[in-house]
Amino acid sequence: MKTLFKELLFPLIAVLAAFVVGGILILLVGDNPIVAYRLLLGSALSWPDGIGQTLFNATPLIFTGLAVLVGFRCGLFNIGAEGQLYVAAFATAWVGITFASLPAVFLVPMCCLAAVLAGAVWAGIPGVLKARFGSHEVINTIMLNFIGIALVSYLTQYHYKAPGDPILQSVPIGWGAHIARLGKFIPGLPERIPLNLAFLLALFCCFLVYVFLWRTKWGYEIRSTGSNPAAAEYGGISIKKQIILAMAVSGALAGMVGINEVMGYRYRYYDGFSDNYGFTGIAVALLGRNHPVGVILAALLFAVLQHGGIYVDGFSEHVTKDIVQVLQGIIILFVAAESFFKYMSGKLRIKNPGKV
């Protein structure tokens, strides 16, 4: 219990500190921080729209947060979740379009498999490049983001767009590839809210990632590689294999965003759909202390902010929804510079030697 408290304490301090800095910025642009924060945080609590929309927003962030987490646990920084989820979403739509006439029993698993495989392959490339040539995964995943996004944009524009459609989006997927919205099962939650079965899949994936990393041999080997590669190699673990495996699992998780987006929300591939999910995933994993439970909490926080951003845009005088990105950036900076807080608390202690 005590360790849980300690694990929660630091992210909480980081979030609060970011809110203080953000509050100063809000004051500077001429608004009342309390009013702005009430809009930002309060709007998510309304039932059914606020809560439904927030949980929907949290779904892709849980997937990308888990993706970044698995990479981190292996000592890898997968900054390419953004590209992986685009490629995967397109692959999902491609299967849903190409085999549109199949019944759901076949098409749903096929589409899900396409999302997972496409994500795994797109992340596996930098994994192989790192294992085989030692080239840095950070650079390669950044490059593959641009390549992947351009590639699916090309495929959509030239091969899968309905003729004459002014919007850069694919033709719709078959009915058999749709997954149910949760409004179907929950009384009071209208089906226009796009929260769908992928949310439950995201929660289940948190459990799976926990089991995979902490309860299986593969997970143990990945974590050993991440915490001490030299010792892991000495202990007979093939680091190269772990790098490729971790990147593939990471990409598969990022790829599942495609299930939420294509099969549960828009029922087609929509170019440019991601609201920086891949990059927010970095913030989610870091703030969540690289633990699946932390990922859920952090994803919820960012989903609340994302939802509140729309209200801030509409109802506050000066502050815009950009404040969400700003807060996110400051939160990551504070989490990254953990030693800053240790330094500060050390300073405070010297000032007040009596109290600790």
Partner 1 sequence: MRDIFSLGLLLSTIRVATPLILAALGGMFSERSGVINIALEGKMLAGAFTAAAVTYAADEKLHMGNASPWIGLLAAILAGLFIAAIYAIVCIRFKADQVVSGAAINILMFGLPGLLSGAFFLSSGSTPQIPKAHLIPWTPIVIAFGAVLLSWYVMYRTPFGLRLRSVGEKPEAADAAGVSVNQIRYSGVLIAGVLAGIGGAYLSIGQSSLYSRNMTAGRGFIALAALIFGKWKPVQTMLACLLFGFTEAVSYVLPGLVKLPSGNDIPVQFIQMVPYVLTIVVLAGFIGSSQPPKALGIPYQKEK
Binding flag, residue 305, partner 1 (CB under 8 A): no
Amino acid at 25: L
| Amino acid at position 237, single letter | I
Among the listed ranges 4-12, 24-32, 189-197, 240-248, the one in contact with partner 1 (CB under 8 A) is: 24-32
Nearest to partner 1 of 98, 325 (CB atom)? 325
Task: Provide the b/e sequence for 216-237 (b: ≥16 CB within 10 Å).
Answer: eeebebbbbbbeebeebeeeeb
Q: Is 146 in the site for partner 1 (CB under 8 A)?
A: yes
Selected binder of partner 1 within 211, 272, 343, 349 (CB under 8 A): 343
Residues 6+ apart with CB under 8 A from 96: 107, 111, 173, 174, 177, 262, 263, 267
DSSP 8-state secondary structure symbol assigned to residue 163: T
Q: Is 151 in the site for partner 1 (CB under 8 A)?
A: yes
Closest CA to 155 of 269, 12, 256: 269
339 binds partner 1 (CB under 8 A): yes
Amino acid at the residue 284: V
Segment 106 to 135, residues that bind partner 1, using CB under 8 A: 129, 132-133, 135
Which residues make Cβ contacts (< 8 Å) with residue 222, sequence separation at least 6? 70, 73, 74, 213, 242, 245, 246
Residue with tokens 């998510």: 44
| Of residues 238 and 276, the one with the C-beta less far from partner 1 | 276
Residue whose C-alpha is closest to residue 248's, from 109, 89, 160, 128: 128
Q: Which stretch binds partner 1 (CB under 8 A): 45-53, 170-178, 272-280, 298-306?
A: 272-280
According to the binding rule CB under 8 A, does residue 147 interact with partner 1?
yes
Contact string (CB under 8 A) for partner 1, positions 168-207, x = contact: ----------------------------------------
Given a contact cutoff of 8 angstroms between Cβ atoms, the answer to whether 256 and 116 are in contact is yes
Q: Which of 270, 279, 302, 311 binds partner 1 (CB under 8 A)?
A: 279
Using the minimum distance from each CB to partner 1, give the nearer residue, 132 or 192: 132
Nearer to partner 1, 108 or 285 (CB): 285
The first and second tokens of residue 232, run together, are: 């892991």
Residue 22, CB half-sphere, CA atoms under 13 Å: how many? 28
Measured from the CB atom, is 79 or 193 closer to partner 1?
A: 79
**Which chain residues interact with partner 1 by CB under 8 A?**
25, 28-31, 77, 79, 129, 132-133, 135-136, 138-140, 142-144, 146-147, 150-151, 153-154, 157-158, 276, 279-280, 282-283, 286, 318-326, 328-330, 332-333, 335-340, 343
